[in-house]
Amino acid sequence: MKEDPVSLVAGVDSSTQSCKIVIRDAQTGALVRSGRASHPEGTEVAPDAWWVALLAAITDAGGLDDVAAISIGGQQHGMVVLDADGRVIRDALLWNDTRSAPAAAALLAEVGAAGPTGYAARAGALPVASFTATKLRWLRDAEPENVARVAAVALPHDWLTWRLLGYGPADESPLGPVLDALTTDRSDASGTSYWSPAANAYDFDLFERALGRPGVEAVGVAEAELEFELVDELEEELEEDLLDSAGEGAAGSGSLPRWVSEPEGLPAVILPRVVQTGEVAGVTVAHGGDLRFDANDVENPADASGVIPAGIIVGAGAGDNAGAALGLDAQAGDVVISIGTSGTAFAVTDHPVADLSGTVAGFADAAGGFLPIVVTLNAARILASISGLLSVGYDEFAELALAAQPGSGGAVLVPYFEGERTPNRPDATATFAGLTIASTSRENVARAAIEGMLCGLADGIGAIRALGVETQRVMLIGGAAQNPAVQAVAAQVFDVPVSVPTPGEYVADGAARQAAWTLLGSRPVWPVTFVAELPVDTRAVIVAQYRAAQLLGSVPRR
Ligand SMILES: Nc1ncnc2c1ncn2[C@@H]1O[C@H](COP(=O)(O)OP(=O)(O)O)[C@@H](O)[C@H]1O
Ligand SMILES: O=C(CO)[C@@H](O)[C@H](O)COP(=O)(O)O
């Protein structure tokens, strides 16, 4: 029997510390190749560093010549502001930059939390410094000269997708600064604080309140409404058409851009088009010969943002945690705990949630549903800091922690090293408590770091559960999840069984699964394997002493 040609798909995770890419078989999910490249440190980064890292990771993975579709997952909330020429106006403020904490408080005071006009109902979450809207308010107040130059606002994954599609500043990209070609997806849009998961639409009033200028949603590359046949003899004509039409539609081409609201006024700011069910970015494409889908035929949440001129379909992409949920094929009842630069606890539901306390953010997922999530600023880097203090690598750090008893002899670390997002304490610092001559040992300090980190995430599970969301199993992922001491303590802190998926890049895997979904037209069924199943081994002393230490407060940041 003739074998189906293997279609390969690529998934990217452009996260805080690095860019990772996986290339998988679209039908089976089998891993074929992978690559990675590092990102610069800091909470304020030039987006070009992400672009350079993406290209390096693609090269490290052997290129995309045999890939049929690609999707980009990434760190959420980052503020990427573009001028009319498609140039980045200033370095992006990332999710872990807390300078916009006062702006978050001001926006919340102006709009309120509760009721139909409050943030919880309108944006699914209360604004905190991580969210894009608060960064835009900071920009309005701190850099008004830059606000006047803003022609579009995008998130990290949106901007990388736009560049990958061939758009960008005229001297850096084949298709030029077509801001209307910017796209995003529901999951990442839901992390802005100006897009409504419940309404499935932008809340332009919340956007204008943040930046002080009106917003408008991008309409997609109009020219791409035409049907293209991506075959060799037409490819030249296609690229000429796109370049011509991009020239007509590009901002700064002499004619007023579509989005100008009043000639004498500042134009409305372009917000990426939210690619979702039934909508392709205007491009209908015959890819790989007979495969064809039309703008009105694709009925699934994994629609395309467009097509790279070489013929590679580009999926909508996703926020990193929604990508991980897709990569793990998380179902109702699963709670994913990811311990990377950020710590996250999230579930998948079929209905939007809104938490008036601000602990749970009611995001959307990348599969047409919703993703209630709790995020901590402090996670894997706690262990990096304490293992450095102890002058040990992660293996010896694990040995030290496993040599201590549950409760670390009474030593407790409340790990708000970088301030904390949940609870919303941007000015907090970390606190070691319960230190006595007897409890202050290398073993107890190592274990206390892990216990403190996991107690914060256990609080997240409790907050999600309190909203009526099923939480029957933890799936433990992220760089620190591979640490055996983290796994052992997780079973003692969480009150549900803990499954540890095989080490992998689940955000990138989710993006690859989305790319396959977009390519094949239905959600692929790929296997997920596990390396450990940990039964509940709750040791109540750990959480009890953590609670007591939390009440001590902390010395404010200097
Ligand atoms: N065995 C380990 N024990 C503890 N932390 C680890 C271990 N291996 C990696 N890490 C940490 O995991 C983090 C990277 O995890 P990852 O999920 O890739 O983060 P991100 O997605 O935020 O880039 C780094 O901070 C690294 O120090
Ligand atoms: O802020 C969030 C989600 O709300 C984080 O998940 C960031 O998206 C970055 O996470 P990592 O780089 O740690 O994956």
**Distance of alpha carbon 126 from the chain centroid:** 18
Amino acid type, 92: A
131: helix, coil or strand?
A: coil
β-bridge pairing 313-315 and 304-307: antiparallel
Strand partners, 291: 287
> Could you read off the pLDDT of 458-498 as tens digits, one per residue?
999 999 999 999 999 999 999 999 999 999 999 999 999 99
**Strand (E) or helix (H) holding 443:** helix 442-465
Helix or strand or coil: residue 51?
helix
**Cβ neighbours of 290 (radius 10 Å):** 6
pLDDT given at position 226: 31
Q: How far apart are CA 408 and CA 496, in angstroms?
A: 22
Active-site choice (97, 158, 185, 320): 320
- The pLDDT score that the predictor gives to residue 297 is 37
HEC string for 373-412: EEEECCCHHHHHHHHHHCCCCHHHHHHHHHHCCCCHHHCE
Q: Which atom of ligand 1 is nearest to the CA of 477?
A: 17
Which ligand has an atom closest to residue 94 CA?
2
Sign of CA dihedral 269, 275, 279, 282: positive
Supply the DSSP symbol for 266: P
Confirm whether 25 is a catalytic residue: no
Q: Does any ligand 2 atom lie closer than 6 A to the CB of residue 77?
A: yes
pLDDT value, residue 267: 82
Separation of CA 340 and ligand 1 centre (Å):
5
Cis check: omega of the bond before 423, within 30 degrees of 0: yes
The pLDDT value given to residue 411: 98
Does residue 16 line the site of ligand 1, with CB under 6 A? yes
The string of pLDDT tens digits covering residues 306-358 is 777 678 999 999 999 999 999 999 999 999 999 998 899 999 998 899 898 89
Cα 381 to averaged position of ligand 2 atoms, centre (Å): 13
What average pLDDT does this structure show over 511-534?
A: 93
Q: Which residues contact 165 (CB under 8 A, 6 or more apart)?
A: 175, 181, 305, 306, 307, 308, 314
**What's residue 558's pLDDT?**
86
* CB under 8 A, 24+ apart: contacts of 367-371: 367/301, 367/302, 367/322, 367/325, 367/326, 367/523, 368/186, 368/276, 368/277, 368/300, 368/301, 370/197, 371/187, 371/190, 371/321, 371/322, 371/325, 371/346, 371/347
Question: What ipTM goes with this model?
Answer: 0.96
Distance 366 CA to ligand 2 centre (A): 15
pLDDT tier for residue 15 given thresholds of 50, 70 and 90: very high
Which mutation among 375, 381, 418, 507 tests ligand 2's pocket best, with the greatest number of atoms within 8 A of CB?
Answer: 375
**Ligand 2 centroid, distance to 128 Cα (angstroms):** 14
Q: Is 351 annotated among the ligand-binding residues?
A: no
Would the pLDDT of 263 be above 70? no
Nearest atom, ligand 2, residue 363 CA: 4
* CA 500 – CA 168 distance, rounded (Å): 40
Ligand 1 atom 23, closest CA: 17
What is the average per-residue pLDDT within 430-456?
Answer: 97
Round to whole Å and give the CA distance between 376 and 340.
10
Is 13 touching ligand 2 by the criterion CB < 6 Å?
no
Q: What does 503-522 look like in DSSP terms, one character per residue?
A: SS-HHHHHHHHHHHHHHHSS
pLDDT interval class at 507 (50, 70, 90): very high
The average confidence (pLDDT) of the chain is 88
Tell me which residue has its CA closest to atom 22 in ligand 1: 341
110-114 long-range contacts, Cβ below 8 Å, gap at least 24?
Answer: 110/209, 111/206, 111/209, 113/356, 113/358, 114/356
d(CA 194, CA 213): 13
384 lines ligand 1 (CB under 6 A): yes
Classify 158 in phi/psi space as left (phi over 0), alpha (psi -120 to 50) or beta. alpha
- pLDDT at residue 450 in the model: 98
Residue 237: predicted pLDDT: 57
